[in-house]
Amino acid sequence: GEPLGMIGVGICYDIRFPEYSLMLCQKHQCNVLIFPGAFNLTTGSAHWELLQRGRAVDNQCYVITAAPARTEDPASREDGKPGKYPHYTSWGHSTVVSPWGEIVTKCDEKEALVIADIDIEKVKEMRQ
């Protein structure tokens, strides 16, 4: 396939700011934006997919997100021992979104490998 071109990277909270993604796409000509993130159960269910689709449509590019799988609170383990770090429950749902805002593929909250074909021609078509 054709090379992906420039790829922009943000972090979890950056996806909330359209200006950051716009700068990556306009100034650096990014065709793909990647955001690793760990939204919680409240903001994840309400905003995670919505923001991904919004950034993809805003910038007519692919948006790829990687999120940690959801884990059980160590206090609910059989031995009842707390973990080394305070527990954080991630929403999960790693996703690939097309420039049209369509979900190309995604996983749920469980551990998974997300694989998708990226058709960079779609970016070029959208930006004409």
Q: What is the pLDDT of residue 71?
A: 81
Q: What is the pLDDT of residue 97?
A: 98
Q: Which of 51, 55, 66, 58 is nearest to 107 (CA)?
A: 66
- The SS3 call for residue 112 is coil
Q: What is the pLDDT of residue 70?
A: 86
pLDDT digits (tens, 9 = 90+) for 67-123: 999 887 666 556 766 666 677 889 999 999 999 999 999 999 999 999 999 999 999
